[in-house]
Structure 1
Amino acid sequence: TALHARHLALNAVMKPVGAWWRPYFYGDAGAAEKTIRDEIMAVRQGVGLLDVSTLGKLELRGPDAGEFLDRLYTMAHANQPVGRVRYCLMLNEMGSVVDDGVAYRMADDRFYVTATTGAVARVYADMLFWNAQWRLRVDVLNLTGAFCGLNVTGPKARAVLQALDSDIDFDREAFPYLSGREGVVAGVPVRVMRIGFTGELSYELHCPSSLAPALWDAVMTAGEPYGLKPYGLEASRVLRLEKGHILIGQDTDAITTPDELGFGWAVSNKKPFFIGKRSIEMRARLGQSRKLVGLRFPADAKDIPGDSCLVLRGNDPVGQITSIGFSPTLGCSIALAFVHVDDSTEGSLVTVKCRNGNLVDAPVVAHAFFDPANARQEM
């Protein structure tokens, strides 16, 4: 990204992710485990800074922009108020989940939409395809390379941003959760969205790529009194897992439906049409055999499974671990996994086969292992 030199100057260990090089963590490669845990706890206890420039960034302009998003995504966007941000869930025509992101309504005829790093090319191509089919009054612009994104997150995130010269009011009442603002921060024009992938108070600042290093430097300087620490991909992966947020392509497969993820809240059934609507209605009538759940393993467990380890029901495989990691916040290993729908209620005990062949039991818990009431990200 445009911040690559800043990462190298901070001794980042870089890792290829799709078409990008991203910081895996910052510091000594020989002390990765400790460094990553320190980054996680910095976010939970203070404030962290993450380069999210690789996210897809798409701008939609035109009087039919809201209607266009209504047809592409499962949530309602035509009635979305200006200045608000909504979650976006995209399905294909067979009703399977293929991408997610957020949509910030900047004006009646203007939306700023994010997509996942790995799917943005496909999402952009789909937008162009459907725009040609539907002939709505909307233009689509891909800003992925033109804009960078910085995520300032943690209990002290607001204090850091308030320490910067800005025309944006970051107070809770003026800038509530799931809203967006345009303005200037440290002399840099920005689009700011208050969203949370880590489960903490978070702000995503998007700006022209050429100005991103200046914004990064300003945030780093303002964050010094608050112990701000840049963090990388691995810490981000654990933080989102603690909050129970999914990763498209890791916690989903080619046939995953919103219901299997517990994402009924993200589907507006009042809309007459969106891509995949008829298919998920038909699949719902057939019933579902699996569901994504949280699993929590004992802190003293001798065997811990890995990604893709099988979930068994008797001797039969019925699902698999999709994401797993050690949570420094909770002091134990946690996972997201597909299990048989009859075993998906909280408190159920499921069996997982570890890579060494041993079996381990784990109780089913809520997706959000950390702060299920969302008090921290909405503070």
Structure 2
Amino acid sequence: MERPAMPEPRPIHVLALVSAPEMGAGVLRHASLLSQACSARLSVLCAPGTPYPCTPHGPHGLLYVVGAPGSLRAKAQRFAAHADVGLIVADWGHDPRELGATLRMTLELRVPGVFLRENPAESARRILVPTTGGPHVVKQLWIANELSQALNIPIQLLQIVARHDVQEQREHGDDALAHARRRLAGVTEPLELVVADDAVAGIRGYARPGDLIVLGAPNYWRVAHEFEGSIPDRVAEAVPNSLLMLLTPKAAHLRLQDIFWEEMIHLGLAPRDKREAIASLVNVLVEHGQLPRQWADTVLETAVAREGVLSTAMDCETAFPHVALPDFTGMIGCFGICPGGVAFGESDGPLTRFIFLLVTPARAYGEYLNVLALIARLVMAPETRQRLLACRSAAEVSAILAEARR
């Protein structure tokens, strides 16, 4: 008796979106390369006037010509409702409102997205990947590695370190977590350390003509509501190079390292008081583009005022200053370790050595409370607090945070 034939699996699609015809050639070229890397079908939604050479070739290419960008996004949503979309590749246009709308749609569809701004005057001769950790880094490295192999050009990994952190980085070198991420993405090249005032200055100073710069997207709130002024947006203003930005969907279950990744961990805090401690953490959020600079004072004053009403300090040497903002989505944070301790609660209470600053939406406490529970479960153990105090690098701290489970 013959076995019944197994049903054919549904094909995975790479969906290319071309809202600006002049960007079509670059979007379709990269979408085609990535669809081959994913063994996926390439389908295209494009604006009228997109040049014919941009259209996909082969039996699996589907082409739809649609009108305005809004109708293009609506068509993309209908397509994704009936097909398995594994990746969206779209143009990084000049209109920030249209880009913001496409970024929000990609988040809503829970599909990874690649956004391309190509400089047609120069062909790519090297893939440049600035890495700082964060939720997009493994996929960012994978995309860069696939393009490097497909285009047969070298890849250069870049770690940009602030001047005040350079000694620590040189002492610890290439940490195990960063190495593991590269291994997961199939990347063998080592990191090159670049010292600069900030990430944008480091990229601008290191990039050369012919570099295709592969960036991770900012935090999810900035993606959805305040992309202007983020690090990718500032890089786009600072360099003429072709840029590719990777956006991954939110994890179904939030992990501490999705909020407090390496750049959001501040070791060796020595504040005079809790206001100075909170200000240091707010400054980290601003320096790394997680929070618009014009919001810094509001966040600081709100956190300090809340502490004045009811301190968030706990007996386990830990405090959770919290700012809930209207019209804010997602969650961002910064974790500071203060080995000498700082008075955070009652004047006669224990000193606080671990400070988790969280910024969340107003009236949306579900995920916030889940994160608090994760942190509390972790820091309640005295041995865990001792391990955190003994850490000499943010990567070591991140590895301990990764142990937290729901």
Say yes or no: TM over 0.5: no
- The structure with the greater share of residues assigned to helix is 2
TM-score, structure 1 as length reference: 0.26
Give 1 or 2 for the bigger CA radius of gyration: 2
Q: RCO greater where, 1 or 2, for CA within 8 Å and sep 6 or more?
A: 1
- The structure with the greater share of residues assigned to strand is 1
TM-score, structure 2 as length reference: 0.25
